[in-house]
A and B are shown apart, each in its own frame.
Chain A
Amino acid sequence: MSTEAIPAEKPKRNYNALFGLTLLALLVLLWIILSVATPSFASANNISNLLRQGSMIAILAVGQTFVIITGGIDLSVGAVVGFATVIVAMLINAGVPVFIAILLTLLVGVAIGMFHGFGIVRMGLPPFIITLATLTSLRGIGLLMTNGNSISINNDAFQLFSRSSFLGVPNLFWMVILVGIPAYIFLHHSRWGRYLFSVGSNAEASRLSGVNVQRTIYMAYTLSGLCAAFVGVLLASRIGIGNPTQAEGWELQAIASSVIGGTSLFGAVGSVHGPLLGAFILATINNGANLLNVNAFWQRIITGALIIVIVYFDGLRRRGK
């Protein structure tokens, strides 16, 4: 009789972990192949470089993932990064203490995210539209503010940060850990994380269950804006200038990393470790292709093909073979 526990095979839900391991294996495999194929890949210099490249997209991808889990999308993140480089550069050059300048820049990111929340919740705009609008107008505002010029930052300590390492690991990569751990706890171990998933799965059911759907949506976009502004600060530190046209197309790289990392564009499926791995896989491919002198045009094609292959296999396994 079915009163007693139903005999079940091993819980099938280690799926997330399993998928993560597969991605990790893929990443390691890529590294091994590239180390063999080109001597310069495994050099300390190149590895640091690769980690720096991947780190910024990785942080963007985490914020992006929160949004995608709710069933939305944030196309503005690349523009926010560029805009944030301008803000932080201007503030520092105006003599604002670096710490305060960073804080204010992050607040700008939060404000942009809140604005997206407002547009979606209050004005009923589709996420795609409101963030697309921000994408174009924010670049415009930045160009107005800078008259189309780059602002070079005259603060060496600020620039030194992103070029240095701690315990042999680039500081930028430490920033991924700094963002990744709280993000992981937030998404997988706090009730807010559960709410992100439930809103993405069925907003009406969540609402009737007492979930504050509007606040959840605000939260997702705000976090994405915050991550983007943070990346903007890191980028400004790395290149030493503020320029609103920087980070062009990064939103697509962030989305691609997220999707490679197992996030479903239909919402309600995703993790934190997936997008992180996804970002470094993308970075490795770009880096490797550069070292192997693969035509930059081909790199784009390879990235596209990779997205299709990984998402296809992921879908196959989700459907349970």
Chain B
Amino acid sequence: MTSTAQELHPAPTLEPGRTILELKGLEKRYPGTHALKPVDLAFKAGEIHAIVGENGAGKSTLIKLLTGVMPRTSGDVMWEGHPAALATPHEAMALGINAVHQEVVLCRHLTVAANMFLGEEDSRFGILQQRAMVRQAQKIIDDLGFDLPAHVVLGDLTIGQQQLIAAARATVRGTKFLIFDEPTAYLTRKEADQLFTLIRRLKGEGVTIIYISHRMEEVFELADRVSVLRDGTLVGTRTISETSEPELVRMMINRSIEQIYHKEHFTPGAAIVEARNLSGKGFENVSMTVRAGEIVGLYGLIGAGRSEFVTTLYGRHRKSAGQILWQGKPVQVNSEHDAIRLGMALAPESRRDQGLCLNLPVGLNLNLPIYKRISNNLLISNAQEKTEADRQIADLRIKTPTRNALASSLSGGNQQKIVIGKWLAHGAKLFIFDEPTVGVDVGTKAEIYRLFGALLSKGAGIILISSYLPEVYELADTLHVFRRGKLVATQGFRTADHEEILTQALAEKQEKLGGQT
């Protein structure tokens, strides 16, 4: 594939600082949305160029145009000085442009190895060289320092691990220009570090990198330059050493934020739920209490059993031992139905698989848990359906043309807001948020944390799962650390420092994970 590109244009002399890719008035309109207004921007060979902006600012759209996933409305893209049509992903790859997309777009039912070589399988006389492919894939993965098996089915890995595989896949294709769209959203710090090592190594090899993230510290850690998009317009480009976090935030959202982690302290009330020696698939012997007015944080590596624990509490999976007490009384939670009736709400980890009906309207998604309340025996109240949906859209600033737009047409962060928003009107007593702010921009994060405060003040309790330590650290009144299915440590609000908590989560060396979230 790369060879065709090299025949067309002589191999680039990668003198750093030369412009490798230039956008001239690049523009994209979707029906109902002007996602990208004409943008002019030049990328220098060998740089790491960060792109930041609010949810729906047009970052992923820009990437989709560059990788030939979507056709552009107008404008030009110059690749090494020549105009490039970029009409298909194939064409982009042939030039050496690759991307790790925000939503993993690999085949869940194929093995890791098969995914790595998808489209360029190694075959002899038409017979796939399966073993050789697995061996080769494993070599590449090990080489990159990722601790993952190549022979397992991709769907058995966590989303974070799948993201790493997607990154590995992109690096083996003669890449000259590699785009990462929020790659760390589902990664733990350790996995993120592995990825950063990979990115730096690629930079060392002369690859140009676009890095999209909502986490400012990553931008400052990695990037050479940063561009800010707002409402589809390029607000500006800065050299990283000449800018600051507050300046970027101001460029992004046009106002400043004093404090992202909005934390309100309440005196904890009565226990809402108590798990006693609960065991189930993926976790063992976990005991904890959540009281009214309290945020209980669960930190750990991906695969530590936190999601299994909460889904079992929520009745989605069977417990194998232990007891659940609801407001002091032992209860049987045999289905999510039981859980919801008691007053639990769960915003699950994976928005695509568990959180959203993607090909249905935003409004339907938001109202799904409360249709019972907004309808009489027979009919849904149209007025209430409308006001409830519109209220969540306004409160969470979900960027959508109308509540009738399909959920799939929203940007990733805005989809995440639906996953959270659908429970806010439900009036539950216990809210379980599993990675609630994945891919959500700074401004909205602050908004969501403020909503947490509002829920607490009404006497609810919250379980907050996050693989992003600062989030649980700054918000949790009680912080439990999970390691390989066990609750290994507990601390109060800010009583331990980051280092200590990380050590608790990691402990001895990691074994190879076969899967499981």
Contact = CB atoms under 8 A, between A and B. Distances in A.
Interface of A: 1-3, 6, 8-9, 11-13, 185, 189-191, 194-195, 197-198, 201-202, 204-212, 268-269, 320-321
Nearest to A186: B378
A288 to B, nearest CB: 35
Interface stretch (B113-121, B348-356, B458-466): B348-356
Contact of B401 (A12, A207, A210, A268): A12
Nearest to B447: A3
Q: Is the interface of B mostly helix, strand, loop or mixed?
A: loop
Given A8-B402, A208-B336, 18 more contacts: A2-B56, A2-B399, A9-B31, A9-B32, A12-B401, A12-B404, A12-B405, A13-B404, A189-B380, A189-B382, A201-B359, A205-B354, A205-B357, A206-B357, A207-B336, A210-B368, A210-B369, A269-B359
A268 B359 contact: yes
Contact of B402 (A13, A201, A206): A13
Given A2-B397, A13-B361, A209-B422, A191 B380 contact: yes
A295 B364 CA distance: 47
A6 B422 CA distance: 20
Contacts of B380: 189-191, 194
B54 interface: yes
Contacts of B513: none
Contacts of A206: 357, 368
B257 interface: no
A204 B354 contact: yes
A185 B375 CA distance: 13
B380 to A, nearest CB: 6
A2 B404 contact: no
B379 A185 contact: yes
A22 B405 CA distance: 21
Contacts of A268: 357, 359-360
Interface string B369-390: 1011001001110100000000
A189 B375 CA distance: 9
A64 to B, nearest CB: 20
A209 B255 contact: no
B265 interface: no
A208 B360 contact: no
Nearest to A5: B394
B316 interface: yes
23 contacts: A2-B56, A2-B399, A6-B401, A8-B402, A9-B31, A11-B401, A11-B402, A11-B404, A13-B361, A13-B402, A13-B405, A185-B379, A189-B379, A190-B379, A191-B380, A194-B364, A194-B371, A207-B316, A208-B336, A212-B337, A268-B359, A320-B30, A321-B31
B253 interface: yes
Nearest to B346: A208
Contacts of B361: 13
Contact of B357 (A9, A202, A320): A202
Interface of B: 30-33, 54, 56, 231, 253-255, 314, 316, 336-337, 340, 346, 348, 353-361, 364, 367-369, 371-372, 375, 378-380, 382, 397, 399-402, 404-405, 422
A191 B354 CA distance: 20
A211 B54 contact: no
B26 to A, nearest CB: 20
Contact of B340 (A3, A190, A201, A210): A210
A197 B357 CA distance: 9
Contacts of B404: 11-13
Given A13-B361, A198-B360, A269-B359, A204 B353 contact: yes
B372 A191 contact: yes
Nearest to A189: B379
A190 B378 contact: yes
Contact of A209 (B30, B231, B368, B405): B368
Contacts of A212: 337
A135 B422 CA distance: 41
Nearest to B394: A5
Q: Which 10 pairs, one residue from A and one from B, show the smallest C-beta to C-beta distance?
A: A201-B357, A8-B401, A13-B404, A191-B371, A210-B340, A209-B368, A320-B31, A202-B357, A209-B369, A11-B402
A210 B379 contact: no
Contacts of A11: 401-402, 404
Nearest to A268: B359
Nearest to B351: A205
A202 B356 contact: yes
Contacts of B401: 6, 8-9, 11-12
**Which among A13, A191, A194 has the highest number of chain B CB atoms within 10 Å?**
A191
A165 B368 CA distance: 43
A8 B402 CA distance: 8
Contacts of A185: 378-379
Contacts of B367: 194
Contacts of A201: 357-360
